[in-house]
Structure 1
Amino acid sequence: MQELKTETLWILISDHLPDVSEAGTFVEHPECGAVNIFTGLTRNHHDGKTVTGLYYDCYEEMALKEAQKLLDEITQKYKLSKAVLFHKTGDAPVGEISLITALSAPHRKPVLDATDELINRLKEELPIWKREEFEDETLWKEEQIIRKESKTAN
């Protein structure tokens, strides 16, 4: 487990995540009229195959540092008041939450735009790897790395 908690930022990378309501409560602030909470759950299918579960592995110390750098950038860019990022490690059965983000700002547009950027960038930048477990095979998800390499190779 890796955790960083300040007055405005809470990052947790662990095999057990707090309840979604804790993320929402943390980012509430009297000056903020907008809070956006995003949860990522394990779905039961991918590319026409039945998913039986996911497994997340990571380099926790580096993931915490990279998550802090990412949230610091996004918080400044969108002028957010507070931010939360929780990411699960280990097994994530179908229906289980593996990612929680919560962001707050005075108005809705910055938190909506920031959430979209945060989700896209954390998938590419954090050293967290996903293994997809299907009925008949298990695959490590490497599509982001492959896409990046193929773009730079051209």
Structure 2
Amino acid sequence: MNKPIKNIFMQGPVNPVFIGESIAKHSSKKDIGAHSIFLGQVRADVIDDKTVVAIEYTAYEELALQKMHELREEVFGKYDLTCMHVHHSLGEVKAGELCLFVFTSSKHRQTAIDACEEIVERIKAELPIWGKEIFEDQSHQWKLNS
């Protein structure tokens, strides 16, 4: 049976309340022994004497969602996960706000940690998502992933 493609995108920053609620929903699942969580936050980097005040995220959404679906299936095949949640911002996210939330759950901690790390690295490397750094003078440049 083909699983539906999940929408990982949300407009604006990932709200900490949403993260807390997501974690709380798992307290009824008694087969989970570990969670691993990655939170990506926008930094106020200084580049050429200008400070980043926000990043504006855009994506080729249809392709990104298809690639994320394939990545999800691959990671579930590789690791014994109970569940996985991925949420990525679109639009403007100010410095200090959260832009990426990856949450994996498993019976064992190392599985959850390894899967979470792989997902984060592959999202950065494989999904067509771009960030435009916006500086305090409103000039901008495309962010290079590192």
- State the SS of the aligned residue for 2:43: coil
C-alpha distance in 1 between matches for 2:68 and 2:125: 11
Partner of 1:138: 140
Deviation at 1:135, TM superposition (A): 3.5
CA distance in 2, matches of 1:47, 1:112: 32
Residue 26 of structure 1, CA deviation: 4.8
> Number of paired residues?
138
1:13-50: CA deviation from partner (whole Å, max 9, x where unpaired)? 12144611233245553111001121111111156752
Residues 20-59 of structure 1: pairs in structure 2 closer than 5 A: 20-26=19-25, 29-45=29-45, 50-59=51-60
Check if 1:13 corresponds to 2:14: no
Instruction: State the one-letter code of the partner of 1:132.
Output: E
- Aligned match of 1:90: 91
Which amino acid letter does the alignment assign opposite residue 39 of structure 2? Answer: T
- Structure 2: which 5+ runs fail to align? none
Normalised by the length of structure 2, the TM-score is 0.81
Cα offsets for 1:67-95 (capped at 9, x unmatched): 11111111221111100000010000011
Identity %: 33
The DSSP-based 3-state class of the residue aligned with 1:101 is: strand
| Structure 1 alignment gaps of length 5 or more | 145-154
* Alignment deviations for residues 102-143 of structure 1 (CA, whole Å, 9 cap, x no partner): 100000001111111111110111111111123454111245
Aligned residues of 2:9 and 2:88 also touching (Cα < 8 A): yes
- Choose between structure 1 and 2 for higher RCO, CA contacts under 8 A separated by at least 6 residues: 2
